[in-house]
Chains A and B, each alone.
Chain A
């Protein structure tokens, strides 16, 4: 199993550009999550999904959109990139609600810089 994979690993965007961060898991997990990690801060939840076709906002959803058309894929869309979105983005998945007896598996991260 590849686990959770993310692409790209690195990206530089100009202000106002858009992009999609890809996330795929091959563990047949129901739950998938997008986090951002800023220097000196804990991971913050952007969006999460409890299954195909179902998504919900986390703590910091503004400026992002997600979709979950399949169990495996959970792309994160940035529209009109802003410098405040410079961060490292992690995708994660778990079989059931993470933290309630279920481990969360993380992707390798995408380092995004918006200039």
Chain B
């Protein structure tokens, strides 16, 4: 079993829909990252959080440390949001990030 699990693996939506991507992890962590990988391959960091909630524009990330779970929400989704969204955690024990396999989102007009 992977230490970081994301669901769903694939997601399609119509423009304007509210999107939720989930991330569960099995290790104690000091921080959790949400990353976005565009079809061209580039990876950018969206959020880094260790508690509570963060918001950037139409993106909202939440984390529940007790339940070892995080969600990434996209409000009013747009075709340009089509990308792979990756969850990664920094565990207490390891000197590295542990990555989920990603959620592929496609938003259609």
Contact = CB atoms under 8 A, between A and B. Distances in A.
A41 interface: yes
A40 B103 CA distance: 10
Interface string A36-52: 00001111110010000
B44 interface: yes
A41 to B, nearest CB: 6
Interface in B56-109: 86, 88-90, 95-102
A105 B43 CA distance: 8
Interface secondary structure of A, over-half rule: loop
Interface secondary structure of B, over-half rule: strand
Contacts of A59: 96
A99 B41 contact: no
Contact of B90 (A48, A56, A99, A111): A99
B53 to A, nearest CB: 17
A105 B96 contact: no
B4 to A, nearest CB: 7
Contact of B97 (A56, A104, A109): A104
A100 interface: yes
A42 B31 contact: no
B48 A109 contact: no
A104 B33 contact: yes
B42 A101 contact: no
Nearest to B97: A99
Interface string A88-112: 1010100001111111111011010
Interface in A64-95: 88, 90, 92
B43 A106 contact: yes
A58 interface: yes
Contact of A42 (B40, B41, B44, B100): B100
A75 B35 CA distance: 24
A97 B100 CA distance: 19
A108 B44 CA distance: 10
B44 A99 contact: no
